[in-house]
Amino acid sequence: MSQPIRVMFVDDEERILRSLALQFRRDYEVLVESDPRRALERLKSEPVHVLVSDQRMPQMSGSELLAQAAELQPNAVRILLTGYSDLDAAIEALNSGGIFRYLTKPWEPREMAATLRQAGEIAALRQRQATPAAPRPVSAEALNLLLLDADPLTLECVGAFCSEGGHRLLRADNLSEALRQLNEERVDLLVSDLKLGGADTAPLLKSLAQAHPRLLSLVVTPFRDTQALLALINEAQIFRYLPKPIRKGMFDKGLRAAAEQALLYRAQPEQVVTRLADAPRSQPERERVGSLLGMLGRLRERLSA
């Protein structure tokens, strides 16, 4: 990369900003702001590769800041930092701000360093792969959407979306059928509950983040578990998290955003990588994900061919 990675930290506590700057100034060009409004003003004119924001600030929440930053600098990698187990904030940051990672305060120095290193790698890739040429038109292309949810309302919403857009709808009632579809079909979008036929789908979502980073996953679930959501953000790189009962307007908005991003991926060369999932932390989960990656062998061979 021709220029150093620029990391902006935004936190209303000056003590935390000093600590972060001291820890990372040797590895990155560090910018700090205690006022999110000033941070947004700087983002209008100063390029930033990685943006790390606290959630709880008096002037503006971190999720609000990241959502506005995404409009100003869409290629910046965004990370939310908070000391609160706030599920609503995490959902808002994911759905509006497109966060790369969610870290809790007080942060563990090695975890923060590893996260920034991964974010820097993604930022470097995005800069190298950026091209001034306009992408080929893809608005008329159809996508393949795989539904892993037996809920009638979810099926109704997804069916209407596919019918309107001319997309192809695939379905699976259990994990074995889901694996078969993924190995045999090109899947662009995945809509999944966290339970399918009585089985947990989280390990599959985490496996797909590694085997098929271009596949965009939307999770629809009645469960409201902050720790589970954080793991899905960090380890499965889910695109949207939508609570049940489904609100059709919000769900349709998420589907359209996912379809737009999937079409952008199709316009890029296959070797372009813009997402990088964190490895599961627990040994049982790592073993389960490893087993599923083996079962997704044909998918990986097809994508790497």
Choose one of 103, 129, 155: the last residue of a domain.
129
Count of domains observed in the chain? 2
Domain housing 75: 6-129
Q: What is the CATH number of the domain that holds 168?
A: 3.40.50.2300
In the chain, the DSSP E strands lie at: 6-10, 29-33, 50-54, 77-82, 101-104, 144-148, 168-171, 189-192, 195-196, 199-200, 216-221, 240-243
| Strands (E) located in 130-284 | 144-148, 168-171, 189-192, 195-196, 199-200, 216-221, 240-243
> Residue 269: exposed, middle, or buried by beta-carbon count in 10 A (0-12, 13-18, 19+)?
exposed
Q: Are residues 123 and 251 in the same domain?
A: no
Q: Is the pLDDT of residue 158 over 60?
A: yes
Say yes or no: 290 and 189 in one domain: yes
pLDDT of residue 140: 57
Of 72, 98, 129, which residue constitutes the final position of a domain? 129
Q: Is the pLDDT of residue 218 over 60?
A: yes
Shared domain for 168 and 125, answered yes or no, is no
Structure tokens at 77: 């990698």
Q: Evaluate whether residue 1 is within a structural domain.
A: no
How far apart are alpha carbons 22 and 158 in whole angstroms? 48
Residue 136 domain flag: no
User: Among the listed ranges 26-30, 135-139, 160-164, which one has the minimum average pLDDT value?
Assistant: 135-139
Q: What is the pTM of this model?
A: 0.85
- The reply to whether 196 and 294 lie within a common domain is yes
**Are 36 and 159 found together in one domain?**
no
**Bigger pLDDT: 185 vs 98:** 185
Radius of gyration of the chain (CA): 19
pLDDT in tens, 92-142: 888 887 889 988 888 888 999 999 999 998 888 777 665 444 444 445 589
Say if 152 falls within a structural domain: yes
Q: Which amino acid does the sequence have at 85?
A: S
Using one digit for the tens of pLDDT, what is the confidence trace for 7-23? 999 999 999 999 999 99
